[in-house]
Every structure is written in C-alpha cells, then in structure tokens.
Amino acid sequence: MKDVKVAIVGAGPAGLGCAVLLKQMGIATDDMVVCESNKIGSSFTAWPKEMRMITPSFPSNGYHQTDLNAITPDTSPAFSLGKEHPSGKEYAHYLRSVAEHYDVSVLESTKVTEVKQQNKDCFLLQIESGEIIKTRYLIWAGGEFSSPRLNTFRGSDLCLHNSQVKSWDDCEAEDYVVIGSYESGVDAAFNLASRGKYVTLLNTGHDKQETYDPSRVLSPYTAERLSAMANTNLVELQQGFQVDEVRVAENVYELLSTTGDKLTCSGKPINCTGFDAHLGAVSGLFDRTENGFPVVNQFDESTLYPKLFLSGPKLVHGDILLCFIYKFRGRFIAPCSVIAADLGLDISILNDYEQAGMMLSNFSCCETQQCYC
Ligand SMILES: Cc1cc2nc3c(=O)[nH]c(=O)nc-3n(C[C@H](O)[C@H](O)[C@H](O)COP(=O)(O)OP(=O)(O)OC[C@H]3O[C@@H](n4cnc5c(N)ncnc54)[C@H](O)[C@@H]3O)c2cc1C
C-alpha cells in the first residue's frame, strides 16, 4: 500500500494547479501523489479538434497580470504556445510542461474507483488496478468532462453530446439542431455553419443577464462568433424551445418541445446541455445544495468529511460559481494553505499568488458586477 500525506485525483488544470502550489511550498516528492485515470490534460485532448480555449491567453505576467489560462503565476500558455486561443491538444501540452517543470509526479492510467475514510486521519483510495493508496489529505479534482449530461430528456441517447465529437468534419448531414446555446452550443453551431450546414440553435431558457461574469454569460469570443453567424442564412436561433423528447423515424430526427412544438433535422441532434455535478468516487462524501452542487466550507473542504477538498469547476460558495473557466484558479490556495499549515510548509509563495490575482478569498468581487462604460 502506498502511503502519502496528500493525494490529488485528476491531472487537469485544477489538480495540477494544487500540486504545483504544494511543490512550491516545499512538499517532499514522496509525500504527494497525483492519480490520473488517463493522461495529463486528457479532457482537453478529448475536445473536438476545432475547439479553442474561450479565455484569451496573453503573456501579461511581466506586470503581475497573469495569463488567464495559466495555472501558476509564472507560466503563460500564450508565451509557450504562441497562441491566444489554444486548442485542447495545445493546452494539454502546456499542462504537461508545467508538471515536468515542477517535477510533479503524476501516476497516469491510475483510476480511483472508490474512496473510503479509514478513520478521521486517513482516506483509502481504491485504484482500478487493485492497488490501494492511503492518504491523510485528499484533493478531488476529477473535473466534469467524464460525466456529460446524457439523460437530460427522453431520447437523449439518439443525440451526439458535443464532448463525443472528435471533429466537426465528421458531421456529414445537411442540417442539424443544436440543443443549448451556451459556450459549447455556439461553438458547435459555428463549426457546423462554417462547413455549410444549416443549423437550428435552441436557446432553452434565460434572457440576457445584466452581468459580465463569464460563468453566466457568453464570453466575448463566443458572442463575437455568434454575431458573425447572424450575417449568414445558415443559423437560425430559436428561443425558448425546451426539448422534451427526441425520436427518429425514417432517418429524420424529430424534436418535441415541452409545449408541443416540433422540429426536424437529418443529422443527429447535437446535445450541448453540459455536464453533471457527479463527483465520481467522492460523490457520497459531500453534502449537496438544492441545485445539486457539493457543499464546501471556506477552505473548499467537505462539510461532512474534513481533509477532503474539492478543486475545479464544480466549486460554489453561496450563489457564486467559481466555475467553468479560469475563476477556479483563484482557489488553489484554499486547500493548499490548510495542508501547508498542518505539514509545516513554507507559505511565502502565496505573496506571488496574491500579486498575480490568483488568491481569491474575498468573494465580494464576484457578487456585484458592474461595468461603467
Ligand atoms: C467549450 C469549452 C470551452 C472552454 N474554454 C475554457 C477556457 O477558455 N478557459 C478555461 O480555463 N477553461 C475552459 N473550459 C473549461 C475547462 O475545460 C474546465 O473548466 C477544466 O477542464 C476544468 O479543469 P479540471 O482540472 O477541474 O478538470 P479536467 O481538465 O477535466 O481534469 C480532470 C482530470 O481528472 C481525471 N479523472 C477523473 N476522474 C478520475 C478518477 N476517478 N481517477 C483518476 N483520475 C480521474 C480525468 O481523466 C481528467 O484528466 C472550457 C470548457 C468547454 C466545454
């Protein structure tokens, strides 16, 4: 049995961000392990080939304004990749370079299938291969890409979830319906229309929100692409069509709405309804909010199981989503500070995180979002 002080599950930006910070605080290599079921950054390598980061990268670190896609204050995907909107494959390359540079040891092909608390001082991680890892602290950073929403409505299985698309070149039909018009829905519509396909883009709900919080409204990158599509006759935006059922007859897909409206298309409908809040092996170890989000304390620690932390896009504090794109980077400090205090690590590096805007401890900036011009 491997016995460590800290185990991190997931080698995406959230898991690696915490791992690097602990390394910078001086944790010994043998005291920490990162378990990754696939390869470093595998959610990004699974993106459709054409998908790009929506957050722009810029090498602004020189004046304490970190590249928005960076996971440490002193690295920049814009600088190392020479791209403003890296592809998933490129971003995974950046993540691997960061892990190598900081000598973070990642156990790839190591899937954690079960987590149990042995006693209040340790967790046991069951690995798919049969191994067991014993750890005092556990940071769950398993992401959401492995739990796409595949059962949102009847007949969901007839659709293609956007996380299952390898390249939009593989979509050969003439016309498609894209369900969901947030980031991935607009991305799907844009890529299909760029290939000359007719697309009906379903907006299933909300009106424009008076905020510029990127966790709640379309990013400028996506909004710009949406307005570019308005000048073509290939994309039709349909408001308020809540899909109730999808069925197929004679190679035509029928979409029925909750109010009885009907749409048809010849290509498999593209499901862009997002991802579940499923937390894999630690699902039962967190209390849940009414909306199904895991409940954490001020250190992003489970309120049911102390020393179990959450890092990544499912983090919420009250009404604040930490969320989806780059904001969760500001929370690497929460679990790492608690662990550092217990293990007697050097926390002076936190000054760099604070200067770089990667130390989000006061959420008032997320509460009132005002833009004066
Ligand atoms: C259209 C779109 C555009 C996006 N653009 C941006 C952007 O511009 N900027 C941005 O910051 N974010 C962007 N994101 C979001 C970004 O992809 C996620 O927020 C980010 O991947 C979350 O990081 P993570 O480390 O939590 O999860 P992941 O990157 O998914 O990493 C989790 C890792 O955990 C592993 N894992 C899962 N379960 C287990 C297990 N049981 N055992 C071992 N390993 C496990 C997985 O294999 C995976 O490698 C975008 C997402 C989409 C859909």
Which residue type sits at 316?
A: V
Q: Are residues 141 and 283 in the same domain?
A: yes
Q: Are residues 13 and 133 in the same domain?
A: yes
**Residues 193, 252: Cα–Cα separation, whole Å:** 20
Boundary of a domain, candidates 243, 271, 299 = 271
User: Is residue 151 included in any domain, yes or no?
Assistant: no
User: Is residue 324 included in any domain, yes or no?
Assistant: yes
For residue 216, the CA-to-ligand 1 centroid distance in Å is: 18
Q: What's the domain count of the chain?
A: 2
Beta strand spans in the chain (E):
2-9, 32-35, 106-107, 112-119, 122-127, 132-140, 160-161, 175-179, 198-203, 235-239, 243-249, 252-257, 262-265, 270-271, 308-310, 316-317, 320-321
9 CB near ligand 1 (under 6 Å): yes
For residue 145, the CA-to-ligand 1 centroid distance in Å is: 6
Q: Are residues 86 and 185 in the same domain?
A: no
Q: Are residues 170 and 221 in the same domain?
A: yes
Q: What is the CATH number of the domain that holds 96?
A: 3.50.50.60
184 CB near ligand 1 (under 6 Å): yes
31 CB near ligand 1 (under 6 Å): no
User: Is residue 235 included in any domain, yes or no?
Assistant: yes
User: Is residue 129 included in any domain, yes or no?
Assistant: yes
215 CB near ligand 1 (under 6 Å): no
pLDDT averaged per 10 residues in sequence order, the chain, 373 residues: 96 97 97 98 96 92 89 95 96 98 97 94 96 98 90 95 96 96 92 96 67 69 88 89 94 95 97 87 94 92 97 84 72 96 97 92 68 62
Q: Are residues 101 and 187 in the same domain?
A: no
165 CB near ligand 1 (under 6 Å): no
The model carries a pTM of 0.93
For residue 142, the CA-to-ligand 1 centroid distance in Å is: 8
Residue 310 DSSP SS3: strand
Q: Are residues 216 and 324 in the same domain?
A: no
Q: Are residues 41 and 20 in the same domain?
A: yes
User: Is residue 32 included in any domain, yes or no?
Assistant: yes
Element (H, E) at 97: helix 88-101
Interstrand relation of 252-257 and 262-265 (parallel, antiparallel or unpaired): antiparallel
Beta strand spans in 204-242 (E):
235-239
Q: Are residues 178 and 39 in the same domain?
A: no
Range of the domain at 72: 2-146+276-367
User: Is residue 372 included in any domain, yes or no?
Assistant: no
Q: Are residues 110 and 127 in the same domain?
A: yes
User: Is residue 306 included in any domain, yes or no?
Assistant: yes
Boundary of a domain, candidates 271, 296, 324 = 271
Q: Are residues 78 and 195 in the same domain?
A: no
Q: Is the Cα dihedral 281, 214, 321, 355 positive or negative?
A: positive
Q: Are residues 263 and 292 in the same domain?
A: no
Q: Are residues 133 and 161 in the same domain?
A: no
Nearest atom in ligand 1 to the alpha carbon of residue 13 is: 25
User: Is residue 373 included in any domain, yes or no?
Assistant: no
The per-residue pLDDT for 241 is 92
Nearest atom in ligand 1 to the alpha carbon of residue 329 is: 11
Boundary of a domain, candidates 237, 271, 305 = 271
The per-residue pLDDT for 306 is 96
